[in-house]
Amino acid sequence: MEKSEVKIEISLDENHIPEQIEWSATDGDQKGKVTASFLSVWDPDKKNAMTIDLWTKDFTVDEMKMFTFQNIMTMADTFEKATGLTEEAHDMRDFGKYMGKTLGVIDEDQAEGKGLPKIDLNK
């Protein structure tokens, strides 16, 4: 059996707050630095999702808003691909668009599928 490994390394400050997050994967010798991570895995015995949520201390609130919006939309895509439940995935995307508007990362036109999210992460 072939195996692949994904590694996440977190550098902490003196108060155990993440300062840097680096990841690497053995497939294709991939690696990089990130400022936030949301990892969710399913335990089939306990029938429970376990998560590791990390973000560095310099990750901004605006970045977290966009990160959350994008994760909701990605979850809808993944859910639809895995289950074929198109209507339910559409409902998830509607919720994502609602959150995107509420958080200020998309406007009404973008919620209707016109254009990209508006947030400026270079502030």
The verdict on residue 108 lying in a domain is yes
Residue 64 and residue 91 in one domain? yes
Give the per-residue pLDDT at 116: 55
The verdict on residue 39 lying in a domain is yes
Q: How many domains does the chain have?
A: 2
Provide the 3-class DSSP secondary structure of residue 85: coil
Give the per-residue pLDDT at 123: 47
The verdict on residue 9 lying in a domain is yes
Using the predicted structure, report yes or no on whether residue 3 has a pLDDT greater than 80: yes
Task: Report the predicted TM-score, pTM, of the whole model to 2 decimal places.
Answer: 0.84
Give the per-residue pLDDT at 108: 80
The pLDDT tens digits of the residues spanning 52-111 come to 999 999 999 999 999 999 999 999 999 999 999 999 999 999 999 999 999 999 888 777
Task: Print burial letters for 32-60: b (CB count within 10 Å at least 16), e (below 16).
Answer: eeebbbeeeeeeeeeeeeeeeebbbeebe
The verdict on residue 121 lying in a domain is no
In percent, the amount of the chain with pLDDT more than 90 equals 81
Give the mean pLDDT of 36-40: 95
Q: Which of 11-15, 67-71, 118-122 has the lowest mean pLDDT?
A: 118-122
What domain range is 29 assigned to? 1-57
Residue 37 and residue 85 in one domain? no
Beta-strand (E) ranges in the chain? 6-12, 18-25, 30-34, 36-43, 48-55
Provide the 3-class DSSP secondary structure of residue 45: coil
Give the per-residue pLDDT at 109: 79
Q: Return the residue matching tokens 């155990």.
A: 16
In percent, the amount of the chain with pLDDT more than 70 equals 92
- Enumerate the β-bridge partners of residue 14: none
Give the per-residue pLDDT at 33: 97
